[in-house]
Structure 1
Amino acid sequence: MMSPRVSCTCVLVVHLIVVITGLLIADGTALTIEHSKKQRKACAPTPFPKIKGPRSKHDKIAIIGAGPSGIHMAYRLKEEGYTSVTVFEKNDYIGGKSKTLQHRGVPHEMGTVYTQPEYTEIYNLITKFNAGNLLPMPEPDVWVNENSPVFLSSLENSIRILQNLRPNVTTSVGTGIILQNIIDYVTLHQKMFGIYKGVMPRPCPAVLSQVNMTFGEFLRINNLDGLRGILLSSQTIQGYGKVDEISALYGMIWTTPYFLSEIVKPVAPRDRVVKILSKGFQFLWEEIARQSKLKVKLSSSVKKVSRLKQGRGFYVKYRHGRRLRCEKFDFLITSPMMKSMSDVIRFEPEVHELFKKSFNYYYTTTFGGY
């Protein structure tokens, strides 16, 4: 007799063939690239506006924060030929939120945890800087309530979360709801944003009006609550926020059709598309900084950034040890959470009002006692 887990896997195979080879829209016709183009002809996406960069390759550039975004920006600038880039980091280590503790020779992530199928830039960096191997993500035991641990990424957990919203849903019905929600979400996503590779193009105003709400509200309105279990691990645990608090557009930028179709494929554990780094994420950023010979000032907490009253540029005042120092730069890039920068940079009142509403969530992990 087939076990419930095997039965679910068989259903997954059938439904995912539909997801991958030919999605159906409401009238039962196949959703193709050409069809999507026709639907979006009256509301074509446009490229996001470019941010003005430094005027000269010899401009002095200051980057605040030696986490993933700060180190990656410094690396890319140096690759593009910029000759004077300085990274300021308040801690005595590189990595920021990508902090890895080594325990018995095994990396334990305290921030960035795993990769997703579309992390192509990360995969390229790992290869280029020889920063270890990609390993399949093991299924951890995670407490989602006070009673007992469950498998975070399993179909059973997604069904359990759905049953909290709809108590009368059985396991078999819940499986069907979740899989149909995946198909419906992929169809809706491609109908709204088109089929693209890389960064989502800027949606037209008509589409933006349809996502002017939280991601959670978008799921409810479109009867997609069956995705909440998947999004718990892909969105919240990864640090992209809770679905009931982040914007729908932000959630849909991260939760792409390709990601959803890949994440639920029934594959052997070694072939899982979610990966971890054999040496940890922090090692990757350390190696980029070391091999690229980036100028990183550790234990250098930036205290104040002041725009020059006359001319172009900034003064960056920072503390290194007991000494308070000041340097002039032509261009400034900040990578920390903007709320934490409100005492460092004088924002416009309306900008300050937006940033002060942001806050942190903490996801606690622990070592298993073996």
Structure 2
Amino acid sequence: MNTAVKVGAFGAGIVLAFGAAFGVGHAVGPVGSDPAPAHGKHGGDTAGAPVGPNGTRAPGPAGAAPAVAEIPGGLQVSERGYTLVPPAEPLPAGTPTDFRFRVLGPDGQPWTRYDRAHDKDLHLIVARRDLSGFQHIHPVLGADGTWSVPLTFASAGTYRVFADFSPTGDPAGALTLGADVIVAGGYEPVALPAPTRTATVDGYTVSLTGDLSATESGLLTLNVSRDGRPVTDLQPYLGAYGHLVALRQGDLGYLHVHPQGAPGDGKTPAGPGIAFHAQAPSAGNYRLYLDFQHQGTVRTAEFTVAVGAPSTTPAPAAPPATAPEHGEHGH
């Protein structure tokens, strides 16, 4: 093992969400910068305006000083009194495991009441910190408040897990908590693929039109074809024809976007195009993951997209501290 290193805790990186359409937006600068000011609709400043249930402000008077942007989802392991408790021990690579975690409520006890969103009570997003190994899965909640799901980590490394859910009875609505988990073994970082507008998966070709911008919300359309023919009979998956997750290289800034329209609404076609509105918080390289379903199987197409003027050289992986190989236990 010449290039591999033993996996250790890299430490939780700063996770910055990016703004999306449908009234959801976060103005966040490059990693290491001060937070960008929050703005209301049409660019109005929001300082001095009333604070809403999610910590956002309505547009304030003209000329008022801009307010600091609210903390984006996924940045914290604990937020609004809810805490994500992931496995504490290193997990095995290449072996199916019963991945178990809990969400604690404001009283410190396991939270068991959730509002269903997109056909599920909780969405779990998993990705290694070099943006490989992406999975979008849906755990099952036990009576004791423990979530569990069969999960296989293909290779060693530090992974980020995002729990996206809406606690019942919380007027602030949905939130996303994030935490790192360690998969033990020899870690070999994977370079981020070059930006492209075409991805292939299982004989399907997905092409991307539109540009992701850091200055304004833009329309991204992903067109699905198979054997050179447009796919016009996509099947609903979690209440939509497609789900788009984006992660920013370096800090794994997170966004889960749902498309325009809905199956059965009389105006949204079942392909080949799936349209999304999104805005990036800053220049950089982003990895996009599109989940779509056809002929009973869910597939994921992956793209790299450059926003602004990112570096043309993949960011080097920081050497981690030593962690135990699978089978050992360190304390």
Normalised by the size of structure 1, how large is the TM-score? 0.21
Relative contact order: is structure 1 or structure 2 higher (C-alpha 8 Å, sep ≥ 6)? 1
Higher strand fraction (1 or 2): 2
Normalised by the size of structure 2, how large is the TM-score? 0.22
